[in-house]
Every structure is written in C-alpha cells, then in structure tokens.
C-alpha cells in the first residue's frame, strides 16, 4: 500500500468462498465466514460502501444473504454470469465513483486477474486476508463524520429517488420541482471541518483545482479575516444529502478569488452544480468586489470547467503549475433554478 493512494470508497465482494465458505450452486448449506459480518459493519460505519460481484443465481444468492442477515450492507449487488470486470464496471457507474477508489475481493486469482486486466486502477485482494483489510491505511479515513455514518442510507435514498424518477411522467425540471429541494449555504463552523476535509479528498469530478486541504488548514482559513470558507448542504423531501459542497474565497480590499470550489458528484443530477458559484457571484457583486477564480484542468473535472464557462467566467492567464485564472465581470449572473430554494 502506497502512502499517497486514495481512500477506498467501495469494497466489491465475491460470495462463494469469500463471504461464505462453500459454493452455493453445489451445496446451499454454505457457512458464513468467521468475522465477515463484523468486517462489513466496520466498513459501513466508516462510510465505506459494500457491493457484490458474484457468478451465481441471483434469487438463490439473495435468499442466502438474507438468511445470514447481511443483505442490507450491499448496494446494487451484481449477481449474474457476466465477467466480474463487467459487474465491477456497472457498480462503479451506478455509484459514480472512480475505479481507483474501489477494492475487489475474491478467492480466485484468475477472477482478480481478469478484473485487474480490464480495470488497471482497481485494487484487488485475496479473500484470505478479509479480516485484515480494515487495518489498512486506505480503509481508514482520517475522520468519520455524520455524513460518513449515513452514507449507505444516503445512497439508498438516492435509489428510491431514481426509482420514483423513472416512473415520473414529465420533464426533468418538473420532477425536480416535486422534490422540494433546499440548499443551505453558510460559513463553516468548526464542526464542519472534518466533512470539509473529507470532501476535498473524495471529490474529483466537480473540483475546480483538485487541491486537498487538511483539517488544520481549513481551520486556519475558517478563522482568518482574509478568507471565507463556505459549506453547502442539500435536502429534499426524502431526507438530507449531507454536506455536499465547499468553497474557499480569498478576500482582498478590491477583489475576491475563489481558491477552491467543489460539489459532490452525487448531486450532479439535481442541478445544483452551479448553486454555490452563483451564490458567490451574487455576494461579490453585492459587496462591489472584482471576482476571480483558480482552476486546474484535469481528466476528471471537465464538468466543473463547463460550469465556470457556462457562468461566463473567462480565462485571464495560466501559470507554470497549470492553474488557470478566471475572471467574471458579474454583469450577467444567472438566477437559481426555479425548483430549488436557497437559504
């Protein structure tokens, strides 16, 4: 394990001879592995999701998971006869996370090799070491926040929203209007800093610079007169999405510079990607400030680049580190979407 590797967001498990001892198709009297439920509970409590990629009969496998009282831990289990790499890709797509934040655990070397050959960034583990993974650095987030503890529930709430949306007859905006979406934007409190650090580590697609800030650095910005640290939370009628965005604004007498802007990729489909940016634009104009923003283009944050351009930011120059400086004359600020209440 390398020191700078990304934290694991999801563990994808095989079933036969991994979660349980024995092969279900050959003998349904399989036995749950010793301590496996404790491992699942531990990962879940840390905000690490669990899923399944197994070659099995779906109904039989789900029935057995229910008998063992472990079904609830697994999001979007892929139990079929497809290649494991295909099942892993499906889980990644549904959860909308990077392949380099996924761990795959299987007892068969050829299955691990097949997945690794297709998905080079994934981390694969022999199931023999399943009891040891919770001690590895990548499976130990520095902080366990309330959002971490509720992560599985948040994804289950998202699943319910998607099911309702699939059945909805109307446009996307009309559906979003039924959710009673509320965005709360506030200056960060000390209690927000653990989640803020977590967001900088976990968020890549809607991250303007990709910079990771520590708890201590964020606390410095929070209490400094030269910075404004903002935290964004999203709620709807199904519950809270948690703290889903942060912004760091450097403040000078005549100008503001957005040093960091990020939004969780989980809320991309809710049309809130521009909310925090629009809020800052409105505040800068109200205070009579010039507005600038740092941006570093990566292969993962194209959506954030589009967000800046869509909101009329223009490039001024770029430095040797690849940081582009944007500016905005604040003459044409979009309104918030009609289906969202901003507080």
**pLDDT value of residue 304:** 84
The residue written with tokens 């380099």 in the block is 100
Closest by CA to 52, choosing from 23, 22, 16, is 16
Q: What is the pLDDT of residue 204?
A: 61
Residue 170's DSSP bridge partners are: none
Q: Give the span between the Cα atoms of 81 and 88, in whole angstroms.
A: 13
As given in the structure block, the two tokens for residue 236 are 């709807």
The residues near 47 (Cβ < 8 Å, ≥ 6 apart) are 141, 144, 145, 147, 148, 149, 151
Please give the C-alpha separations between residue 240 and each of 52, 72, 153, in angstroms, as whole numbers. Answer: 26, 20, 10
pLDDT in tens, the chain (343 residues): 233 468 899 999 999 999 999 999 998 789 999 999 999 999 999 999 999 999 999 999 999 999 999 999 999 999 999 999 999 999 999 998 889 999 999 999 999 999 999 999 999 999 999 999 999 999 998 878 888 888 899 888 888 888 898 899 988 889 989 999 999 999 999 988 888 887 887 766 677 888 888 889 999 999 999 999 999 999 999 888 888 889 999 999 999 999 999 888 777 667 777 889 999 999 999 999 999 999 988 777 888 888 899 999 999 888 777 788 999 999 999 999 889 999 8
Give the pLDDT confidence score for residue 36 in this predicted structure: 96
- % of the chain at pLDDT higher than 90: 62
Q: Count CA atoms within 13 Å of residue 195 on its CB side.
A: 26
For residue range 114-130, list pLDDT tens digits in order.
999 999 999 999 999 99
Per-residue pLDDT, 27: 84
Q: What is the pLDDT, as a whole number, of residue 269? A: 64
Domains assigned to the chain? 10-139 (3.40.50.1000), 146-342 (3.40.630.30)
pLDDT of residue 203: 64
């Amino acid at each position: 394990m390398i020191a700078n590797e990304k934290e694991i967001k999801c563990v994808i498990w095989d079933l036969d001879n991994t979660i349980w001892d024995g092969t279900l198709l050959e003998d349904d009297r399989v036995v749950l592995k010793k301590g496996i439920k404790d491992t699942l509970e531990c990962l879940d409590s840390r905000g690490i999701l669990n899923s399944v990629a197994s070659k099995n009969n779906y109904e039989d496998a789900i029935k057995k998971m229910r008998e063992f009282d472990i079904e609830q831990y697994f999001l979007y289990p892929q139990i079929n006869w497809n290649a494991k790499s295909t099942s892993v890709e499906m889980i990644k797509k549904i959860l909308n996370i990077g392949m380099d934040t996924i761990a795959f655990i299987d007892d068969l070397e050829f299955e691990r090799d097949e997945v690794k050959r297709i998905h080079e960034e994934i981390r694969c583990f022999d199931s023999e070491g399943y009891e040891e993974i919770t001690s590895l650095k990548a499976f130990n987030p520095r902080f366990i926040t309330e959002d971490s503890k509720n992560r599985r529930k948040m994804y289950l709430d998202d699943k319910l929203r998607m099911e309702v949306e699939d059945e909805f007859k109307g446009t996307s905006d009309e559906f979003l209007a039924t959710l009673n979406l509320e965005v709360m934007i506030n200056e960060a409190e000390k209690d927000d800093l653990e989640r803020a650090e977590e967001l900088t580590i976990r968020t890549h697609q809607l991250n303007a610079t990709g910079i990771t800030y520590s708890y201590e650095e964020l606390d410095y910005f929070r209490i400094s007169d030269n910075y404004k640290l903002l935290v964004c939370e999203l709620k709807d009628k199904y519950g809270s999405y948690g703290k889903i965005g942060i912004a760091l604004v450097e403040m000078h007498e005549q100008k503001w510079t957005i040093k960091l802007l990020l939004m969780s990729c989980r809320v991309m489909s809710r049309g809130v990607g521009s909310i925090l940016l629009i809020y800052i634009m409105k505040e800068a104009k109200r205070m009579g400030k010039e507005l600038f923003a740092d941006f570093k283009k990566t292969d993962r944050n194209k959506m954030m680049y589009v967000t800046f351009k869509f909101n009329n930011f223009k490039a001024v120059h770029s430095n040797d580190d690849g940081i582009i400086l944007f500016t905005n004359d604040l003459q044409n600020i979009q309104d918030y979407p009609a289906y969202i209440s901003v507080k």
